[in-house]
Structure 1
């Protein structure tokens, strides 16, 4: 019988070492993995500079290979408050307008915290690399302010709106053990195939009417 791991600095170091030594991209763990539901450890210098840099590089490669627009360390089994984010995918003009989707340059967030700006919410389907094959509608603040440390240890703040704000919130939520399904309209849950057949619209108006949420 498997036991839930003790999430501490020793477990963190062992997890990172195991990934760095394999020489291959790690698997993205799926919902049900205990690390996905644990409070990730804040980065306090547990890794050396070269270790942190190598981990960020592996996470970036893993995110791009998936492909995805963000990856948090717990998604590869590492309980650390670290994520990489990037959105350079081409989307239709209608999609970009409805979702306020703008390109997002690659960047790293360490020990991030976000707060909503204003009261406006945006409702859209979103998925997760750790819940492969499914999507659901999540209401999220349309604009957030993010405080975080970069990969060099410099404290930074930035404001994000639209789809970029959604990515920031989704990845930061991972670091406190929260998956998007915890905040989703569960009646909207759809497999990727069903979403493509019925609800792949720039907005969620049809889905709300058809699925009654």
Structure 2
């Protein structure tokens, strides 16, 4: 069975990006960085989400990211599904911090429950089959709208979402061209999915 071990962000300035992510989120080895000057404009076709237990934890992470240089795309607020906000890191990556809870049960702990990579695709069913053929298994599926794969004991969850819906959720236009500026790592053979997202082989599963 295949699990997503790491996410590598390709950034113009790895030193600055390392400083930002250490200050804002402290994600350890599940997030990697490397230099790239590949051209990219607009929406890159993916978002990264951090899920937490309560609004206080969401606010703490969002405030830390904004203080470190992120730009707010959707200010933190209550929604039908809970509480959260969306921001864009200085390197251009879009991050969402959210919780299903609408009220705090205690002080902020700084604990991140899950890191989720959402890939925006035009045909969710076809992409789902591509990944099933490569050893992933489905944990949740909502027709042709959303698919979440089983993450096992891996530190990163992988999900598929319609591109336009994902961009709307992030608060940006769905238009974009060029490189995704991201690579996915797993203990599996390297490949590139139908939408240009590249998988690279990791020697072992990363630890959070």
TM-score, normalized by length of structure 1?
0.28
Higher helix share: 1
Higher strand share: 2
Structure (1 or 2) with the larger CA radius of gyration? 1
TM-score, normalized by length of structure 2?
0.28
